[in-house]
Chain A
Amino acid sequence: KQEVTQIPAALSVPEGENLVLNCSFTDSAIYNLQWFRQDPGKGLTSLLLIQSSQREQTSGRLNASLDKSSGRSTLYIAASQPGDSATYLCAVITGANSKLTFGKGITLSVRP
Chain B
Amino acid sequence: GAVVSQHPSWVICKSGTSVKIECRSLDFQATTMFWYRQFPKQSLMLMATSNEGSKATYEQGVEKDKFLINHASLTLSTLTVTSAHPEDSSFYICSARGRKVVYGYTFGSGTRLTVV
Contacts and interface: CB of A to CB of B under 8 A. Distances in A.
Interface of A: 31-32, 34, 36, 41-46, 49, 51, 89, 91, 93, 97-100, 102-105
Contacts, number: 54
A90 B73 CA distance: 29
Contact of B44 (A42, A49, A51, A102): A102
Contacts of B43: 89, 102-105
Contacts of A105: 43
What is the predominant secondary structure among interface residues of chain A facing chain B?
A: strand
Given A41-B112, A103-B43, A105-B43, A36 B49 contact: no
The interface centre, meaning the residue of A44, A91, A97 with most chain B CB atoms within 10 A of its CB, is A44
Contact of B93 (A44, A98, A103, A104): A44
B110 A34 contact: no
B102 A32 contact: yes
B34 A43 contact: no
Contacts of B6: 43
